[in-house]
Amino acid sequence: GDLDKVVNLLLSLSGRLARVETALDSLGPHAPAEDKVALREKQRLLAAQLEDAKELKEHMGRREEAVGAMVARYLPAEHLQDYQHFVKMKSALVAEQRELEEKIKLGQEQLRCLRESL
């Protein structure tokens, strides 16, 4: 459960940071200074939160290794491989699910914009 939460947190923060950076890049030279300042502050906060989340993931990795070592003492090799595969795939699948959800959201937003422009 913790792994899902940390992976979702990382994906959420990196997605939000990317959107803020895109918004910053799309601001024209005549954009109000307040908008630029607000976006830069948001970018700074999100970058700091992302670094904290990465540290949390590293901590989770160390905890996963400790749990894996304990599990290895009690499971036969075949079941241990299944457990290790499960942990790796769960993380990858959570990331893939989040990516697909983001693509769907983006597609829906593009579709809405196209409908409004017609």
Cβ atoms of residues 25 and 68 within 8 Å: no
Residues 21 and 54 placed together within one structural domain of the fold: yes
70-100 pLDDT, tens digit per residue, is 888 999 988 989 988 988 888 788 878 888 9
- For residues 2 and 40, state if they share a domain: yes
Q: Structural domain tally of the chain?
A: 2
Cα dist. 76→10, 40, 85 in Å? 33, 53, 14
Looking at residue 20, its pLDDT comes to 93
Q: Could you tell me the residue range of the domain that residue 70 belongs to?
A: 1-74
Residue 70 shares a structural domain with residue 101: no
Q: Do 46 and 81 fall into the same domain?
A: no
pTM of the model: 0.66
Task: Please report the pLDDT score of residue 55 as a whole number.
Answer: 94
- Both 22 and 41 in a single domain? yes
Distance CA 9, CA 69 (A): 26
40 and 95 together in one domain: no
Which pLDDT tens digit goes with each residue over 12-67? 898 899 999 998 888 878 888 898 899 999 999 999 999 999 999 899 889 888 88
- Same-domain pairing of 1 and 31: yes
Whether residues 18 and 50 fall in one domain? yes
Domain identity same for 20 and 57: yes
